[in-house]
Structure formats: C-alpha cells, structure tokens
Amino acid sequence: MKVRLSEFNENWAKLFHEEAEFLKTIFKDEIVRFEHFGSTSVSGLKAKPVIDMMCIVKDIHNVDLFNDQMHSLGYDVAGEWGIPGRRLFRKGGENRTHHIHFYQTDNPQIERHLIFRDYLRAHPEEVARYSRFKEELAQRFENTSEYSPAKKAFVREMEQRALAWFEGKRGTSMRDDRKCKGIIFDMDNTLLQSRIDFAAMKEDIFRHLVGHGMLTERFPLYEHTTSTMLEHAKKAGMDHTLYLSCLNIAEKHEVRGMEGAGLEKGVPELIESLFGKLVLVVVTNNSLSAALKALEVTGIKSYFDSIIGREQMEALKPSPSGFTYALNQFPAIAADEWISVGDSWIDGAASAGAGIPFISYRTSLEAMMDKGVRPIARIDHISEVRKWIYG
C-alpha cells in the first residue's frame, strides 16, 4: 500500500465520531467506550489519513460473534493481527479509511496508546519533530511495508519519554489544571467503617452455588471476591433466578453489617467541604436499599448527587458498569475529569475500565499493582483527597 502522508485535517475527529456512532448500532451493549488515538487524533501532526480508533469492550471474545456481519458490511476482519487480545477491523480496502482496534477493558495496550496520544497533545514541539521525521521517511519510502518498520525505533524512543512523562504526572496534584469536576467514592471501608463480614458472605454464597451444582468444592475461593466468584458462576451457566438468590444472601449480610456502622475519620468534613463544588457519587456493590439506609443513618446521604448500587450495574465491580452508569448520568463531565477513591483492587479495576483516575485508600500500591491496578496515588487519610483537587 502506498504511503499517503497528509497535513492534519480537522475533519478527522468528525470521521471518528461518525464511525463510533455507526459501530454502536452493531455492537450495542458490548461497547464500554471509544477512543480516537494515533496520529489523526493529535492536532497539527502529519498523518496517513486513516482513522485509528479503539473500541473498548467488556468481553473480547464476544467480538468474534460479529465477524460475519462486519465482513458483509465491507470491513476486513483481521483478528488479532499480531497483538494478543486485540481484534482488528479495517475499512476502505486499498483506499483505507479506518483501523478499528477492539480491546477488552483490562488490556494494557489501551493505556499504552492513550499515554502516547496524550503526551503528543501536551507537547507541540514533539508533534513538530515527529512530523518532520515522517516527512523524511515518506520521501525515502513509497510503500507502507517499508515506511512503517522504519518508524519503529523513533516511535519506541518517543513512547519511553511519554511513559516517563505520564509517571511524573502521577506524582503531581490535579490542581495543576483544575480539571477535577467529580469524585466517585466506594462506600464500605472508604466512607463507612463497614462491619460486613465479607468472608462469611462469600462462604455462604459459595455454599449456595455448590449446592446448586454451579461450583465444586475445589473452586479456589481464596483467589476470589464475592463479585468475581459470581462472574465465574455466570460464565458457568448460572441463571438469573439463582443469581438473584445469591444477591439476597449478600443483602442479609449487608443489612446486618451496616447496623451501627460509623463513618471513616474525616469523612463528614471532607464531604461537606466538597458539597456544591464537585459532583459527588457513590458506587457500591451493595444493594441500593442497604446503601441508602447506611448513608441516611450516618447523616451524609443528602450530600451525594447520585448513589449507585448493584441494581444499576450490569455486573458487580471489578466490572466498570457502575462507573459508566455515572458517566452517562453526568455526560458533561469527561472520564478524566473525575477521580475515584476506594480501598479495594476491584474499585481500581472498575475505575480504570471506565477511564477514570483512581486513588487507593489505605491499600498499598504494591497490592494494587499485583492485581493489575495502577492508582495515581495512595492515601492514608480520607482528607488527603483534597490535595489531589486543590493542592
């Protein structure tokens, strides 16, 4: 394929959005979000006029179910195309217009691509340098089969600088651009000093599932939370009736554990200071009724703009569905204009899946990273959230 290098075109963003809207009509609820990345997403950068876009989905394997339909619509179905966990579709034939990269929410390629994009957007001098390098290559090579490999070393070196820039940003306050507009809090052991016996809850639900033949005694219970165990049972064929009966068991533990629950130290002062200035949301795996009762009893319910329980989620955390529910409730606030705070890796994984920066409350960064979660910070006192907003 011939190298086609063009000046930046403002219309590329429009082409991305139009394609995203069309793909929504095909993949519907499989989609978590879209991201425009690659050279056509960076203002001022010369690029091949092919839109690179990410379609981030809940389950990458479900994408394969749409291959025949995509082929019938004229897309080239390329599978992984050398990158494990990806599904690539190409549009336009020899006059290529779009590369559509599907990734599951937990794929590390997502962060890699977005860090590089955001680094270029923040560094116009690097955009100019990259453009000059592309021009030089385009004069030397006619075909993309030679042009693309020749870029690799340059891009790899720039990606390293982008990663260093990103890691440096983790250590700076969000006050630098004052872009934080909303906070999503976990509830148990973040806002409230929960007395829920989570181990007993998990054991009771495990026994219930074993009794119904959905799990065996050999199931590695110690490796799972209640929510990940339930997701495992769903994949094993658990029907909705059995799922609801498991949630009823959970709710009994939740109601019992919320009796007499107090607030984490510093929560009333923090919430009161943020009220009316930021959008405040709670996302909890607890039932909505249990959450509303606990927040009412502790006197902080009225401070929150939204309280999202498991009934509003398609799946429990670590699924990002509760966070995407919040994003849909407040469409004027972009994902990177929120922060979320929680004590568990499932909070961090759910937050990352929705593209929202996450702060670990009391749990070590090492423990988070062992589960594939990369918080922007760790705090020991809930009041420290303020420094990530105002400094």
Q: Express each pLDDT in 20-54 by its tens digit.
A: 999 999 999 999 999 999 999 999 999 999 999 99
| Nearest-angstrom CA–CA distance, 114 and 385 | 25
Q: Express each pLDDT in 167-209 by its tens digit.
A: 776 555 444 444 789 999 999 999 998 777 888 989 999 999 9
- Estimate the share of the chain in helix, then strand, then coil, as percent rounded to the nearest 5: 50, 15, 30
Tell me the mean pLDDT in the region 104-128: 91
Q: Express each pLDDT in 294-333 by its tens digit.
A: 899 899 999 999 999 999 999 889 999 999 999 999 999 9
Quick check: 73 and 96 in contact, CB under 8 A? no
Residue 90: exposure state from Cβ atoms within 10 A (0-12, 13-18, ≥19): middle
Closest CA to 255 of 282, 294, 301, 199: 294
pLDDT for 252: 86
Closest CA to 288 of 185, 183, 187: 187
Quick check: 216 and 206 in contact, CB under 8 A? no
The vertex-383 CA angle with 381 and 385, nearest 5°, equals 100
pLDDT for 356: 94
Tell me the mean pLDDT in the region 120-129: 94
Sheet of 377-379: strand order equals 306-308, 279-283, 182-185, 338-342, 358-361, 377-379
Backbone angles phi, psi at 288, to 5 degrees: -60, -40
Tokens coding 4: 């086609």
| Nearest-angstrom CA–CA distance, 181 and 86 | 32
Closest CA to 48 of 40, 59, 36, 60: 40
Q: Express each pLDDT in 218-251 by its tens digit.
A: 999 888 888 889 988 998 999 999 999 998 898 8
